[in-house]
Chain A
Amino acid sequence: MELTNLESVPGKTIVKHLGLVQGSTVRAKHAGRDILAGLKNIVGGELKAYTELLNESRQEAIERMVAQARAAGANAVLNVRFSTSNIASGAAEVMVYGTAVLVQ
C-alpha cells in the first residue's frame, strides 16, 4: 500500500478511483501519563509521553484507513490528510483520511 499526500503517485498512473477512505481513534490520556505530564507542566517543554501516545494513535488510525482501502481493492491512498481534535477534556481524536485508488 502506497501512502502519499500528493495528488498522484509519482511514476505511476491512476487506473481507478475507489473513493474516500478514513480511519480514526479516540484515546484517553493515561492516568499515569497524566500525572507525569502534570509535573512536567510546572517546568514546561515537551511532553514526551503525549507525543508518543498521539504517535501511536496516528499509526493505528493509518492502519484502519489502509485496511479500508485494501477492502475496497486499492493499492494506494492519495491526498492523505491528518486532523486531531480535543473532543472532551482528557480525550483526543486522531483522524486520517484520503482517496483510495488503484495505480499501475
Chain B
Amino acid sequence: MDLIVSLVVAAVLLLAGLLFGRAAEKRHYADLKRREAELRNLLIFNERRLPADVVCSRAVLVVGSAVIAEDYFKHAAASMKSLFGGRITAYESLLDRGRREAILRMKERARTLGATMIFNVRFETASLSEDRSGSRPMFSAEFIAYGTALVP
C-alpha cells in the first residue's frame, strides 16, 4: 500500500513538473525575447579598459541577479541522464534562462540610470542546492551579472 501511495505521489510530482515546468519555461523564453529586443541598443562589453573616445559623466556599478530552480521532471530527467553521461539538456535551458534573466535585470537597472553602455561585465554562479544525504539534491543556483554602467 505504501509503495502504491509513494508511486502515485512521484507520478503526480513528475506530471506537475512536466506540465507546469514546460509552460513556465515557454513563457519565460517569450518574456526574455521581448525584453532583450527592447534593451538591444544598450551595449554591454566585457572589456576592462574604456576606449579613449568614450565620453561619460558618471560610472555606476550595476548588478542583476536571479535564482532559478529545477522542477521534478527535469530532476528525474537529469538523474537518468547522469547514469549515461553526455549533455544534460534539461539543465542547459535552465542555466541559459537564469543567466539571461540576470543580464536583463542588470541592463534594466542601467537603463533607469540613463546609461548607454555597460563595461567590464562579469558573471558569477553559485549553487544553492541543499545537501541531502543519499538522494540527489534539488538543483537551484544563483546567477549574477555585474558591470560598470556609463552614463553619458
Contacts and interface: CB of A to CB of B under 8 A. Distances in A.
Contacts of A9: 59
B71 A50 contact: no
B126 A92 contact: yes
A45 B138 contact: no
Interface string B2-34: 000000000001001100110011001000000
B128 interface: yes
Nearest to A29: B128
A67 interface: no
Contacts, number: 122
A40 B69 contact: yes
Q: Which of B16, B74, B148 has the most CB of A within 10 A?
A: B148
Contacts of B69: 37, 40-41, 44-47
Given A4-B148, A54-B65, A83-B124, A41 B50 contact: no
A84 B126 contact: yes
A46 B131 CA distance: 20
Grouping DSSP codes into helix (H, G, I), strand (E, B) and loop, the A interface class, with mixed when no group exceeds half, is mixed
Chain B contact-residue range equals: 35 or more
Given A6-B48, A43-B17, A44-B17, A54 B142 contact: yes
Interface string B70-97: 1111100000000000000000001000
B63 interface: yes
A44 B66 CA distance: 13
A86 B126 contact: yes
A47 B68 contact: yes
B147 A5 contact: yes
A6 B68 contact: no
A58 interface: yes
Contacts of B42: none
Interface of A: 2-7, 9-11, 37, 40-48, 50-51, 54-55, 58, 80-86, 89-90, 92
Interface of B: 13, 16-17, 20-21, 24-25, 28, 48-50, 54, 56-57, 59-61, 63, 65-74, 94, 101, 119-120, 122, 124, 126-131, 138, 140, 142, 144, 146-148, 150
8 contacts: A44-B70, A44-B73, A45-B25, A45-B68, A47-B69, A51-B65, A54-B65, A54-B67
